[in-house]
Chain A
Amino acid sequence: MSVTTPFPAPVLRTAGDSALIVELGDGIAPDLNAAVHRLDRRIDEASIAGLIETVPTYRSILVQFDPAVTTAEVLGGRLLELAAGLEEAGTGPQLRWIIPVCFGGAHGEDLDEVARRCGMPAEEVVRLHCTVDYRVYMLGFSPGFAYLGGLPAALHQPRRENPRMATPAGSIMQGGGQAAISPIAMPSGWHLLGRTPARTFDLRRDPPFLLAPGDRIRFTAITAAEYDRLEGIAGYLPDSETVSVAAADPMVQGAAA
């Protein structure tokens, strides 16, 4: 690997008799997670014999395989080959979802509290949320639950002291240094900022999952009336656009500079 790489050498970890973990580093960081998603795409494109599925996460990928077809040794060698040169930008297009959000009020009960804690007007909290590209770092916890990286540092706040037993589906939440979109009603200790009429998980819709690991997200503020209108559209899908990886990935630009 080149000396300019921001990552240590990839590490293979044994994960039982039919899985491996390829780990690119530790912690939650945009450049590290970008590399994870580049590697995940390479693995997908490589169509490796015996590979069953991958689970990309913040800093690693769980690779499940069929031990009747391949071995950890063969697969591990292939994964390390694919993990070489990850500091270079990938070539594929990047999907960016434009997610409409009704912020504050009944749709986001904690907006004013977050604004107070951050020492800024609520309008500024909304503006900050709508001017950054979030990235789907990973999905986990429950089907379609998207952990988003990219929350501006000025908005970082600890979780609520008192978690709610129920939060509505489509909640835009923040907790610590992360944001999330909840797929279904669930308990949560994160701050509720707003709600989107777009459902990230709906089995009646094809595709059932809106967001894939690595996707970009841009929030756009809408009124309560617009929220109601969009929510009334059966199988509603928000707009999306493809952006070039270089434009969407400031860390790649940074590495190239």
Chain B
Amino acid sequence: MTTHLRVVSAGPSSTLQDRGRIGYQRYGVSVAGAADPLLHAAANVLAGNPPAEGAVEFTLAGDCITVEGGTVRIAVAADAEVAVDGEPAPSWTSLRLRDGQTLRIGALRSGMRGYWAVEGGIAAQPVLGSVSTHIRSRMGGLDGGPLKAGDRLPLRLDQAPDRGEHRLDPSLLPRRSGTLRVMLGPQQDYFTAAGIEAFLSEDYAVSHEADRMGCRLDGPTIEHARGFNITSDGIPLGAVQVPGTGRPIVLLADRQTTGGYPKIACVVGPDLATLSQMRPGDRVRFAAVGPEEAWRIRAAQREAFDALPGLLQSAGAFALYDSARLLGFNLIGGAVTGWD
């Protein structure tokens, strides 16, 4: 019998994601991929995987899964309560679970999305080079959709090797702020000077209309200079499009490939993860940067990815009931809350 995970209950929207589907936007295929690639990579590195392996991205609350068959190693990268067979267990730590054990990941204490990875990865068939789930086009994952109760997730590894576990202190990850850095364009000429001024100087709040495709923001209207229709063109990741309402929408991983609203600016890649962790009501500001500053932000992001393996600390043997350590993890959880 091969080892797999049985989904006892799924979070509100849990999907398998890697770095996305590259090279098919010209055929109308959305990229998809992890909304917060650094956290996604952290879950993988903790579980002993390459950073871009497919892992489950959950939204607001995690999943409850039971191990069936062999022994697995799972790591949760999220500020959430975790329990194994009802007993508290640490997040940000790899856990080795036996046949029959049940892992429950509760609600996120902060942020919008968390990740869990299993050593060796979930044995999903890549679609167009990626296992990323794109729900709207029913592509990727196990059947094109989110995890649901009763799902059987086949694993590539039947027995996770018995070795020491790792933990990662999330307070060592780069700090995130409520300021999203943008590069103006591609269609800033479709906006008045007053419109651009409002965009760059006022507070905007994340609305309830926010998902993996885009994040609609509430705030001062951004004034168009010459209508709000352009001949449809390609939509880059992080594009801030402004439809006729004058309220901006930041387009994220699951965005459509083409669109006909003018785009005032694009959020610099690494800051999209910040936005994707914000909840309705959270406030953001946009700050314009030039190409050199954007390049430095990107380079810092690459360094943060490269540094992940070096952040791993030994967590000793699997010791679920070490209360002193659990207390330590709760304190780390408090530090994560500072992200928003």
A joins B in a complex: yes
Flag if A140 contacts B232 (CB, 8 Å): yes
Flag if A14 contacts B183 (CB, 8 Å): yes
Contact with A along B121-136 (1 / 0, CB 8 A): 0000001100000001
User: A57 — nearest CB in chain B belongs to which residue?
Assistant: B233
Specify which of A57, A60, A61, A213 lies most central, judged by the most chain B CB atoms within 10 Å of its CB. Answer: A57
Flag if B234 contacts A142 (CB, 8 Å): no
Flag if A143 contacts B28 (CB, 8 Å): yes
User: Per a CB cutoff under 8 Å, which of B23, B231, B238 touches A16?
Assistant: B238
Known: A17-B294, A209-B27. A142 touches B137 (CB 8 A): yes
Contact with A along B212-256 (1 / 0, CB 8 A): 000000000000000000111111111100000000000000001
Flag if A144 contacts B28 (CB, 8 Å): yes
Contact with A along B310-335 (1 / 0, CB 8 A): 00000000000000000000000000
Contacts of A18 in B (CB 8 A): 236-237, 269, 298
User: Per a CB cutoff under 8 Å, which of A14, A64, A201 touches B184?
Assistant: A14
Chain B interface main SS type: mixed
**Any A CB within 8 A of the CB of B302:** yes
Flag if A27 contacts B231 (CB, 8 Å): yes
Considering the complex of A and B, which 9 residue pairs feature the smallest CB-CB distances, nearest first?
Answer: A62-B234, A16-B266, A140-B258, A13-B186, A14-B185, A55-B234, A17-B294, A19-B236, A15-B236
Interface size class of chain B, counting residues whose CB lies under 8 Å from the partner chain: 35 or more
Q: How far is the CA of A18 from the CA of B24 in the complex (A)?
A: 17
User: Per a CB cutoff under 8 Å, which of B231, B236, B302 touches A62?
Assistant: B236
Known: A13-B185, A53-B26, A213-B26. A140 touches B267 (CB 8 A): no
Specify which of B185, B234, B294, B299 lies most central, judged by the most chain A CB atoms within 10 Å of its CB. Answer: B234
The 10 sampled A-B contact pairs (Cβ below 8 Å) are A15-B239, A16-B268, A16-B294, A17-B295, A18-B269, A52-B23, A53-B23, A67-B295, A140-B257, A213-B26
Contacts of A64 in B (CB 8 A): 25, 236
Flag if A143 contacts B137 (CB, 8 Å): yes
Contacts of B302 in A (CB 8 A): 68
Flag if A139 contacts B185 (CB, 8 Å): no
Flag if B237 contacts A212 (CB, 8 Å): no
Specify which of B22, B27, B236, B269 lies most central, judged by the most chain A CB atoms within 10 Å of its CB. Answer: B27
Flag if A145 contacts B187 (CB, 8 Å): no
Interface size class of chain A, counting residues whose CB lies under 8 Å from the partner chain: 35 or more
User: A68 — nearest CB in chain B belongs to which residue?
Assistant: B302
Flag if A58 contacts B233 (CB, 8 Å): yes
User: A214 — nearest CB in chain B belongs to which residue?
Assistant: B26
**Any B CB within 8 A of the CB of A208:** yes
Known: A140-B256, A145-B28, A203-B127. A68 touches B298 (CB 8 A): yes
Flag if A52 contacts B22 (CB, 8 Å): yes
User: A73 — nearest CB in chain B belongs to which residue?
Assistant: B291
Q: How far is the CA of A8 from the CA of B340 in the complex (A)?
A: 46
**Any B CB within 8 A of the CB of A124:** no
**Any A CB within 8 A of the CB of B61:** no
- CB-contacts of A5-38 with B (<8 A): 13-19, 21, 23, 26-28
Flag if A58 contacts B127 (CB, 8 Å): no
Contacts of A62 in B (CB 8 A): 25, 233-236
- CB-contacts of A122-152 with B (<8 A): 138-145
User: B230 — nearest CB in chain A belongs to which residue?
Assistant: A26
Contacts of A13 in B (CB 8 A): 185-187
**Any A CB within 8 A of the CB of B118:** no
Contact with B along A85-114 (1 / 0, CB 8 A): 000000000000000000000000000000
**Any A CB within 8 A of the CB of B139:** yes
Contacts of B284 in A (CB 8 A): none
User: B289 — nearest CB in chain A belongs to which residue?
Assistant: A17
Known: A60-B234, A64-B236. A208 touches B128 (CB 8 A): yes
User: A58 — nearest CB in chain B belongs to which residue?
Assistant: B231
User: Per a CB cutoff under 8 Å, which of A16, A53, A68 touches B239?
Assistant: A16
**Any B CB within 8 A of the CB of A71:** yes
User: B266 — nearest CB in chain A belongs to which residue?
Assistant: A16
Q: How far is the CA of A239 from the CA of B91 in the complex (A)?
A: 56
